[in-house]
Structure 1
């Protein structure tokens, strides 16, 4: 019979939520316990009270009744009651010692150590224990994965995007210019880099600067593709913060911020506060608007970014036109990234001239052309050693040239020609007869888009484009998915209503007046193959940031005034992943400004058939003549303008083609490395155990998990949920584990190990006691019946900044010890997977009886397991330091060597690596072991 005394602290095995109880009365047959936390009193029979004695050990932390935290230094027993000699550190740094009777201990108790919970009869179900072990193993594998930071993105497995993300994202404080051609995914590349920097701890505070019109697109893209919640800072948001606290810097209220460039330029105080706030990474979209010259300096946008870039360690600049606005402008953007390296335009031009020679040699290396003696001599001069014309040596020589190439580390530029995989596009003009009352004079807006002045929809009665649209959807495009884009939401709403009500077409809308959820639902309805919408009608803003590669027919109901906007429209379909040639249907009214605008885009800029890298520049150069010709039919003058611009365009494109730097293009996507990353992600997608893990977790914790026939799942919280702290909205969420499905169903969240919901599950398991104890039956004839085995899992801990990623250098992060009742170490002989089929559930009452009956054995074997686990530490520490040191030393020596040839490698980058290497090696001296889970196995006959 257990020994009870007034003042002792006990925990109820069956009602742990009552907190820590104190014995207030004892007689021969019963005892009374007061539970102060819940103000409840329970009376138990002494012979079989479901209670566990709580005794804290040396170095345990305890709270007194006032809520003060103490550390136990020693303890003694007097008349059955424990007295704790404890110490605490006061706010002024001084230490206070005190003796606490256990009656003075606070009633709130959270037993976190597995052994304490087990001995207190807090035994979890077997399913929870198994989930905890699997979660620990999943986290350990993630720590060492080269895919860390790349897994969680809702993106296709496109080699050049993944290569750039991997190459740049792993750097500390990357400063690069992303300059891929339109449609190759610069925003995705930037998002992948941002995601990787945040997940690996290399960056925590990020500022994205974009034009006004792109703020929402970036915010949505970051949230939908990468599960990153950026705060949009506009004048209303910043004014609200200032009104609440005039002294507070608004840019210190959030970690990840999107703001418009114009906001900073127009409000000097906000600009100063953004600079003062300090960020780890600055991202600037549309960087070709940053203008600079040696004579005049920079424009206001350039000066703003320059000021921020000086104070920010990492900088990403995004532009699709790196050199189209002139070499000086290109140099100016590189100057923002590294003002010391790019300090002189003349020196830069000289270096570029030398690198052109290098690029020509590299082009021969990358071709099937045999190397002549002249080539070999030139290579010897560049590399410092002679090579043979053998495949391996040619391959190695290419990579040596790439490492030494001038802007190879700071500039990434992929072209459609180099990447390929684009089926092409065709223009399908639809000239229509204009109504007699159509305006052919007046303002250009009224001639081009008169429907926008008739918000009541009356324009539809006479506009021939409406009848044409109904006809083409009924006949030529009847069985196809069609995307229609118009300038404004009201036009889209009017067209949708007519098509749905009068033409019987299945429609979906997508415009800025809809909520994010409504847009997601519309996109999902459009994506449905069999019963989804035939046509999705989008406004200009509503279509931004969305890609619909599964459709190949685009209707441009009207034409925008800006060629970049037109290219953005076409880019919704003309992207990597498109399987068919895109058909661009363009209705226009003959003899009007609409026809002249169509001819300008088609005949002068050739923008419907191909991406035109010079279109925006040419239109800006000829804008005065163009407006004059659009406003009125000037006959031959317009014909001459079309011819002149077409000739200039062809000349400029030929010049760009001749100046293509194929060495730079190859460096922007090294095929072998890129394919390795793609293969690794494909292997993860094919072999991940996450779906089964999540399904079992949901089932065992009473979270609603409903699998759908279309490959998605609906996850909802319930009133009976047994866990807290998960990132799960009250309304639940629709999700998928499959990348292909996530690409199509943007309303479904893509669940990976890096999704916030899964991360919250892992965090809950890490910080709470979920599944840390279990007692199970082991059916076996090979072991003594009635004996017990003890399985303990330990984690190898190293306290260090997240950015160092020290766990990745550990040869193993988990240590498992399995001991027989007599102390025989069975860890190596009996694998966990061998045990699993023979383990069976044991009811709660029997579990508690086993723990109480075999308490001494359990404690003795646990101490032995701990000693065994600690003996592993020295070897793990030695291997970890060797791995970590070699990893950094290789990169330090590589960059130090290359710096002799490539001045774009910064000395501060090398010094940073050296500092991180020393810091990590020092911290690895402090490896420790912490218990994570403990399981008692009771041997019975099969």
Structure 2
């Protein structure tokens, strides 16, 4: 029996090695590996009079106990039963034995144990469990996505909120909640190599989740000890770059063989059907029960590749691309029907026929079922709407929130900087544009000493504003930095693909500091995943041809956490090829001011025309025609998406009432003073000195800590600061944010409840009137023992029962 986790029931010894022992707990369908020297295990020996039952359900009463060949045998009227035949659901209670033997605890330990039981009961059954611990602002759309995803039995979804709306936070919330509810234990996160450290820091700093970074050094270190070991089985939580697994087939096979409860793929739009990356991820998807794909631009490379990614989520549903396209063609009719149901509007005969044909199993009796449609309650309509969303389109497989639907975001200001240049400048610009549009940077050297854009940038930097500059290549970054250093004395940080991950992180951190670099020069590698929302000025030194890549660039500043309006500066030479792109984005798409719905479809239709406008004669005439066509196509696509697919996605992606209810639950839990009072009492009990810094923030000193097993936070000194206030925790990232989800709080409950301390005491009642009375107080915990993969506590949380009887049994 585990003293730390008695709720697992009785265990069976599976394997004993030199330093470890493995115990299997059949009732909870899980195993635990313990160090032999410190295993918190107690051998169970039942006594005369105990009522037991076998695995087959046969009940018997123990008459006597005998030890034969190191195995207990229980003699009963029905026969003799060895201990390995006793049901693992049997109860082994120690308080009664401690009371009869006189092994008593101090009453304060008893009170602390009882409070721990009650508070754990409250925390486990709370709807806010798993959502409290994140050091984040509580944004309704993020909470809803995480809630909806974790409510699924098998989460396999695509998170595709627009750039800057917090997909990473949504994924972290999902991971955090599933781990805390013990529905998952093994998680692998696959990201581009440039984002490994960012994910690691976000998980640790915001959610107290420590992930191992899988790289060649770690894997070799593990296998050097024993070649048969799988390094991906050495830890439960890991982050790995896709590039690493592609380059090392040995580790690719090991990652697949390890098996996972949840797999997360960031920047999933890079997964092209038939590519090595796609084949790698597909193999891992088959080895994982759950799957999260993250991308802000799911259709960046076309509908076919988007369908291929949906196949990773659910190959049974997304098995035929032609059928998928046919479903999309029905979006307009279904969306109009859904709108009526949501608005509680009456349905006409066409609506009725469409609904019956779409959901025949719901309306088996046909037309006569509609006599009472006006009497449908809200739940009935919501269920019908949800089933329509499920059946047509991506349903619950895809979440996509947009700025337009949510509202309340900072504005984008656009600064179109038209510059003049001589013939030599225009010739250089022509060659640069050709290299950029054909991706031939490697063979090009750039010189920007006298470039009009560089001269404008020098003057702009004299304003001392922090500036993020994005361009398409490493060579451009180096050339811009060299030219700037010749003309102005400022601190310049670089961010490009030739730097190591640590170098990039250091330069990004330097740029973030108030007294750090004034400008960060980024190649295209900085346009994905990295967040620089502390700056408000973005300079686009050149422009990509794909509008979705442009939105990725702008999203580095225009994202959640941005406190002010941002200004997008677009310097270009009049009569250059870049003027065509600037005017197409600004006057045709309005892409600088807002996200463009259906951007890839517009690019697919007009991309060649845009390039054609940069070549040959009559550029201005052809450009005017292009701008007019662009505005018309954008209007058509916007209307189609608003009425069709995007409306269905919007319904699935956010439900205000559900989000508000969850937000209230979190705020209510945080407003209660119970956790703070409990933890301060715990600190006193274990010798931790605390001093208040404010009403909900305290300085802790652990120099006099009485228990070496007390669960102190990782990487903390003898003195550190804790706070129970979310706003303070967000401002001060070095403070520990204590909630019911924090590892120290969870560890305290395990420390108190995982031992016998406090489960038995005797006290004298000071009331002389009842001085001869003897009262027996018993505390029972009713728990449903089930496999951890089943969220049983969500429906049957542990229940604490307190019973008091006197000597007469009343």
For the criterion TM > 0.5, the same-fold answer is yes
Larger radius of gyration: 1
Give 2:555's match in structure 1, choosing from 571, 578, 581.
Answer: 571
Q: Is the 1:217–1:544 Cα contact (8 Å) retained in structure 2? A: no
The answer on whether the counterparts of 1:485 and 1:556 sit within 8 Å (CA) in structure 2 is: yes
Relative to structure 1, the CA distance from residue 519 to residue 756 in structure 2 (aligned partners, 3 Å threshold; closer, same or farther) is farther
**Contact 1:425–1:608 (Cα < 8 Å) also in 2:** yes
User: Which residue of structure 1 aligns with residue 683 of structure 2?
Assistant: 698
- Taking the aligned partners of 2:254 and 2:387, their CA distance within structure 1 comes to 39
How far apart are the structure 2 equivalents of 1:747 and 1:543? 28
| Aligned-residue offset at 1:174 | 2.1
What do the CA deviations read for 1:888-940 (whole angstroms, capped 9, x no partner)?
Answer: xxxxxxxxxxxxxxxxxxxxxxxxxxxxxxxxxxxxxxxxxxxxxxxxxxxxx
Partner residue of 2:636 out of 624, 648, 654: 654
Q: Is the 8 A contact 2:302 2:601 kept in 1?
A: no
Question: Any idea what SS the aligned residue of 1:426 has?
Answer: strand
Aligned-residue CA RMSD (Å): 5.3
State the alpha-carbon separation in 2 of the partners of residues 681 and 420 from structure 1.
22
Q: 1:304 to 1:144 in 2, by over 3 A?
A: same
1:175 maps onto 2:130 in alignment: no
In the alignment, structure 1 residue 800 sits paired with structure 2 residue 792: no
Out of 789, 802, 805, the position equivalent to 1:816 is: 802
The 8 Å contact of residues 71 and 86 in structure 1, kept in 2 or not, is answered as no
Structure 2 partner of 1:663? 648
Question: What is the CA distance between 1:610 and its match in structure 2?
Answer: 0.9
Structure 2 residue 302 is matched with structure 1 residue 308:
no
Check conservation: 1:169, 1:192, Cα contact below 8 A: no
Whether contact under 8 Å (1:286, 1:319) holds in the other structure is yes
- String of CA shifts for 1:407-454, please: whole Å, max 9, x gaps: 3232333333333333532213456788999897397499999xx999
2:233 aligned residue: 252
Show the counterpart of 2:457: 465
- Partner Cα distance (2:110, 2:561) in 1: 43
2 CA distance for matches of 1:509 and 1:687?
Answer: 47
State yes or no: 1:357 paired with 2:333: yes
Among 524, 527, 539, the alignment partner of 1:556 is 539
Please name the residue that 2:294 is paired with.
318
**In structure 1, the residue corresponding to 2:113 is in which secondary structure?**
helix
Q: Indicate conservation of the 8 Å contact 2:311/2:319, yes or no.
A: yes
Q: Give distance in 2, aligned partners of 1:588 and 1:777.
A: 87
SS at match of 1:248: coil
3-state SS, counterpart of residue 149 of structure 1? coil
Q: CA deviation at 1:579?
A: 6.8
**Is the CA contact 2:160–2:295 (under 8 Å) kept in the aligned structure 1?**
yes
Q: Partner of 1:28 in structure 2?
A: none
Counterpart CA distance in 2 for 1:759 and 1:492 is 52
- Bigger CA drift: 391-400 or 304-313? 391-400
- 8 Å CA contact 1:162, 1:189 repeated in 2: yes
Assess if the C-alpha contact under 8 Å between 1:173 and 1:280 holds in 2.
no
Distance across 2 between alignment mates of 1:694 and 1:241 = 39
Matching residue of 2:113? 132
Residues 650 and 629 of structure 1: is their aligned pair in 2 closer, same or farther, counting only changes over 3 Å?
Answer: closer
Give 1:362 deviation, angstroms: 1.0
Instruction: Specify every segment of 5 or more residues in structure 1 that has no aligned partner in the other structure, as ranges.
Output: 1-62, 76-83, 97-110, 293-297, 474-481, 527-531, 826-942
SS of match in other structure, 2:316: coil
Distance 1:163 1:704 in 2: 39
Pairing partner for 2:195 from 214, 228, 234: 214
Tell me how far apart the structure 1 counterparts of residues 675 and 494 of structure 2 sit (CA, whole Å).
35
Q: Deviations over 1:121-159 (max 9, x none)?
A: 764473x54443322212111222233322222333333
Question: So what's the TM-score if we normalise by structure 1?
Answer: 0.62
Q: Structure 1 464/447 Cα, relative in aligned 2: closer, same or farther at 3 Å?
A: farther
Q: Find the aligned partners of 1:627 and 1:240 in 2 and give their Cα distance.
A: 51
- Asked if structure 1 preserves the Cα contact closer than 8 Å seen for 2:535 and 2:557, the reply is yes
Q: Would the aligned equivalents of 1:74 and 1:86 in 2 still touch at CA under 8 Å?
A: no
Instruction: Determine which of 393, 408, 416 is the counterpart of 2:395.
Output: 408
> Which structure has more RCO (C-alpha within 8 Å, separation ≥ 6)?
2
Q: 1:283: Cα distance to partner? A: 2.0
Judge conservation of contact 1:552–1:580 (CA < 8 Å) in 2.
no
Asked if 1:203 corresponds to 2:184, the answer is yes
Distance 1:203 1:343, change over 3 A: same
1:581-630 superposed Cα distances (whole Å, 9 cap, x missing partner) = 44334567888898787556545653321113555677799889989999
**Native 8 Å contact 2:142 2:170 kept in 1:** yes
In the aligned structure 2, how far is the partner of 1:219 from the partner of 1:430?
39
SS in 2 for 1:815: strand
- In 2, Cα distance between equivalents of 1:747 and 1:545: 23
In 2, Cα distance between equivalents of 1:494 and 1:306: 44
TM-score by length of 2: 0.71
- Note the alpha carbon deviations across 1:810-848, whole angstroms, 9 max, x for none: 57622223456x5665xxxxxxxxxxxxxxxxxxxxxxx
SS in 1 for 2:651: helix
Structure 1 residues 554 and 704: alpha-carbon distance in aligned structure 2, compared to 1, 3 A threshold = farther
SS in 2 for 1:409: helix
Instruction: Name the CA distance, whole Å, in 1 between partners of 2:725 and 2:272.
Output: 44
Structure 2 CA distance for aligned equivalents of residues 470 and 118 of structure 1: 83
- Give the CA deviation at 1:380: 5.2
How many Å apart are 1:291 and its aligned residue?
3.1
Give 1:399's match in structure 2, choosing from 363, 380, 383.
383
Structure 1 742/497 Cα, relative in aligned 2: closer, same or farther at 3 Å?
A: farther
Report the Cα distance in structure 1 between the residues aligned to 2:435 and 2:639, rounded to whole angstroms: 38
Secondary structure of the residue that 1:320 maps to in structure 2? coil
Kept in 2, the 8 Å contact 1:176–1:315? The answer is yes
- Give the secondary structure class of the aligned counterpart of 2:238: strand
Cα shift readout 1:519-575 (whole Å, capped 9, x = no counterpart): 88996x76xxxxx999896967789767676x6833437557586565345335433
Distance (Å, rounded) in 1 between the aligned partners of 2:460 and 2:659: 46
Once residues 778 and 483 of structure 2 are traced to their aligned partners in structure 1, the CA distance between those partners, rounded to angstroms, is 67
Q: CA deviation at 1:248?
A: 2.4
Query: Deviations for 1:625-659, whole angstroms, at most 9, x for unmatched residues?
Result: 989999xx989648846963784475156325403
Hey, what's the Cα distance between the residues in 2 that align with 1:137 and 1:486?
55
- State how far apart, in whole Å, the 1-side matches of 2:692 and 2:402 are: 41
Equivalent of 1:739 in 706, 710, 726: 726
Alignment of 1:600-611 (within 5 A): 601-603=585-587, 606-611=590-595
Q: 1:774 to 1:359 in 2, by over 3 A?
A: same
Give the secondary structure class of the aligned counterpart of 1:207.
strand
Query: What is the correspondence of 1:28-177 to structure 2 with a 5 Å cutoff?
Result: 87=67, 116=98, 123-124=105-106, 126=108, 128-177=109-158
In structure 2, the gaps of 5 or more residues are: 1-35, 49-63, 75-92, 364-368
1:56 alignment counterpart: none
Which residue of structure 1 lines up, in the alignment, with residue 16 of structure 2? none
**Quick check: 1:441 aligned with 2:423?**
no
Residues 762 and 642 (structure 1), Cα distance of their counterparts in 2 relative to 1, 3 Å cut: farther
Do the aligned residues in 1 keep the contact of 2:781 with 2:798 (CA within 8 Å)? no
Give the total of aligned pairs: 708
> Distance between the aligned counterparts of 1:778 and 1:538, measured in 2?
74
Write out per-residue CA displacement over residues 686-731 of structure 1, whole angstroms, 9 at most, x where no aligned residue. 2252223223322332324454459654445324444524132342
Query: Compared with structure 1, are the counterparts of its residues 87 and 502 closer, same or farther at alpha carbon in structure 2 (3 Å cutoff)?
Result: farther
Distance 1:693 1:572, change over 3 A: farther
Deviation at 1:496, TM superposition (A): 13
CA distance in 1, matches of 2:203, 2:316: 32
What residue is the counterpart of 1:684 in the other structure? 669
**Structure 1 contact 483–536 (Cα < 8 Å) conserved:** yes
Q: CA deviation at 1:321?
A: 3.5
Distance in 2 between the 1:159 and 1:674 partners?
5
| Shift in CA distance, 207/823, structure 1 to aligned 2, threshold 3 Å | same
Post-superposition Cα deviations, 1:460-498, rounded to whole Å, max 9, x if no partner, equal xx955344233365xxxxxxxx67456799999999999
- Structure 1 residue 268 and structure 2 residue 249: aligned? yes
1:612 to 596, 599, 610: 596
Task: Measure the CA separation in 1 of the matches of 2:739 and 2:655.
Answer: 27
